[in-house]
Amino acid sequence: MPATPKLALLAALAQTGCLVGGGLPPSRLDVGPSVNSVDGASKSHVHITAGAHVASGVFKPGLPFDAGIGYVVEHIAVKPEPGEEASEAKRGAYLHGAYAEGAVAVPIGPRGSRTWFGGRTELLIDRGRPGFGLIERIAWEGFTRANGSGPIKSHCAFGASASYGAAAAGVFVEGGYQWLPQGGRAVQVTAGVTLRLPAMAAVALVIPYCK
């Protein structure tokens, strides 16, 4: 049986098009200013964590816990030490590494919101030297269902996208103790905004050289 015009067109696109796809795990992002005290001297910096979290992957108002792993980075505002070049001090102003976190949910706040009490362990790296951190965290967020799917339509591409889980926005405050890679010890306090994104995936067939 001869192919219909639509099937013939799809076959031609499959041969000449480019199949692309991607996805994002259920995620949480924290961003905020932070201050730490090292040997009595206070330093300000920007604190960012991004990771995959259980509570972002399901929409369940009564979910009792969250757990996640991810990446932490901090940019510390420092001045070059005596005899140290500015470029060396700049590289040393970044701490980064991995974290693991757990939290319990408490029904504090209006409907559609939740409060988290949790703790985080951090493995910090600077110029190949390891450090360690223990952080306690309190957060409040408003959340909603983020399940959905739909087509991707364009004159140059077509496909489908889908999401599953919860989307949320809120605020957090945290504090803790860090054994820094440089050898010092720091007391840290951070406050900022927290965002959640559901698991997302998309796939599309793109026609090359299409304008």
Mean pLDDT of 84-88: 56
Domain definitions of the chain by residue range: 21-206
Residue 113 CA to residue 106 CA, distance in Å, equals 10
What is the 8-class DSSP label of residue 3?
A: P
pTM summary value: 0.81
Give the CATH class of 21-206: mainly beta
Mean pLDDT, range 32-55, rounded to an integer:
87
Residues 6+ apart with CB under 8 A from 27: 50, 51, 52, 53, 56, 196, 197
C-alpha–C-alpha distance, residues 54 and 27, integer Å? 8
Asked if residues 105 and 66 have their Cβ atoms less than 8 Å apart, the reply is yes
Between 205 and 15, name the one with better pLDDT.
Answer: 205
Give the pLDDT confidence score for residue 106 in this predicted structure.
92
**What is the rounded average pLDDT of the residues 114-136?**
93
Q: What is the mean pLDDT of residues 89-104?
A: 81
Binned at pLDDT 50, 70 and 90, residue 146 comes out as very high
Highest mean pLDDT among 77-81, 157-161, 194-198: 194-198
